[in-house]
Structure 1
């Protein structure tokens, strides 16, 4: 069902504007993360860089981000279908809870590293770990603010599935973007050793 076609013109215009704005924001965020990733590679090529053993909690947080994205995708599909608001609301709530759990597990991972004496200052690998995960966490927290805006509309009396579908679609798109960014960061933090960084930078 084409939900956009069932919306009034002013709502369609708002949905289009929001979609364009989200694409622009994701483009800016991509550039920002790319710059930090480049700086990380360059810094890890230094003589004082040491490979970082990632805490196991990151695997759990990755699974939570995957589950949250899947729940939001299914929530959008439910809103575009004809099964009523209840399934979309349940899946929407599940996606938000997964995002909250993701942030909590990330803090747990920080505590694990701090307990292992990996501090924000000292080892370049540790410094960038805290920086990159904090920056990603802030973007996830911003996505949660958008989720709250959309959840408010979902639980509003008289909420319409057609109007709800495009809102959930925006949040799901952003969540998938956050998932891709996280997977790349996770791979880079776990795989990029000083030796590999020096090969990339041509200083080996």
Structure 2
């Protein structure tokens, strides 16, 4: 439970810091004199604030799922998850897509069109590979008898991984929409940075969920308690 609470606290701190930097606490109706900042409707700051709010909600959702797994582990019928190796391949592909999008965002900031296209292509291919690896992982789990209703761990893995895949598909749709506007709207290039931030979030969440499902998070917490006591 302490791991889950720590994850929730981390998400909350990051989200509140982000919103604060977007000026969510500003009270323009109390200000006097000339305006020092003119908001830009539909501009990048609004997009960042919107993404920040969405990440708060999505992070809370995954934190609740992780909390449910942690509490369920305390029951006698809990069995340790035996994840197939393709899950770790998928994790590597997800990390590659996250790095590729970050590189694409840097290329867009420099005005490097060729680099932007190259990194977007690599990142998209890695995303497709992750989705394929996730589908194969479900097949391998079913073949090993760890079906949706076989064990609590398998049920939670199917639920959380399915929820994560839905977020990945949503991110792909947003990325495709931005990519189609690259030649028409100059602001679309800067939106690649928002897509990269979202993909970093997906990577962090997936690492945290795998750590909880495999028991690594609980082992790490127990080790820290033993060291500090």
TM range (shorter): 0.7 to 0.9
Equivalent residue for 1:28, pick from 45, 54, 57: 57
Q: Match of 2:208?
A: 184
Q: Match of 2:11?
A: none
Equivalent residue for 1:121, pick from 144, 149, 168: 149
Q: Match of 2:33?
A: none
Give the CA deviation at 1:164.
3.4
Give the CA deviation at 1:97.
1.8
Ranges of 4+ aligned residues in structure 1 off by more than 2 Å: 9-14
Q: Match of 2:100?
A: 71
Give the CA deviation at 1:13.
4.2
Equivalent residue for 1:38, pick from 62, 67, 75: 67
Contact 1:120 1:130 survives alignment (8 Å): yes
Equivalent residue for 1:138, pick from 166, 173, 176: 166
How many positions carry a matched residue from both structures? 183
Question: Considering only aligned residues, what root-mean-square deviation do their CA atoms show, in Å?
Answer: 2.1
Contact 1:68 1:99 survives alignment (8 Å): yes
Give the CA deviation at 1:152.
0.7
Q: Deviations over 1:63-91 (max 9, x none)?
A: 101110111111111111143x1210121
Q: How does 1:1-204 map to 2 (within 5 A)?
A: 13-83=42-112, 85-154=113-182, 156=183, 158=184, 160=186, 163-191=187-215
Give the CA deviation at 1:122.
3.0
Q: Match of 1:6?
A: none
- Taking the aligned partners of 1:125 and 1:117, their CA distance within structure 2 comes to 12
- Taking the aligned partners of 2:41 and 2:131, their CA distance within structure 1 comes to 33
- Taking the aligned partners of 2:46 and 2:124, their CA distance within structure 1 comes to 24
Q: Deviations over 1:144-182 (max 9, x none)?
A: 11111111112x3x554xx23321000000000000001
Contact 2:179 2:188 survives alignment (8 Å): no
Structure 2 SS opposite 1:92: helix
Contact 1:69 1:172 survives alignment (8 Å): yes
- Taking the aligned partners of 1:11 and 1:140, their CA distance within structure 2 comes to 29
Contact 2:69 2:213 survives alignment (8 Å): no
Structure number with the bigger relative contact order (C-alpha 8 A, sep ≥ 6) is: 1
Please identify, of 111-120 and 42-51, the stretch whose mean Cα deviation from structure 2 is larger.
Answer: 42-51
Q: Deviations over 1:8-49 (max 9, x none)?
A: x89774222111111000000111011111111111211111
Q: Match of 2:7?
A: none
Q: Deviations over 1:111-148 (max 9, x none)?
A: 00000011101310111010111111111111111111
Structure 2 unmatched ranges of 5 or more? 1-37, 223-229
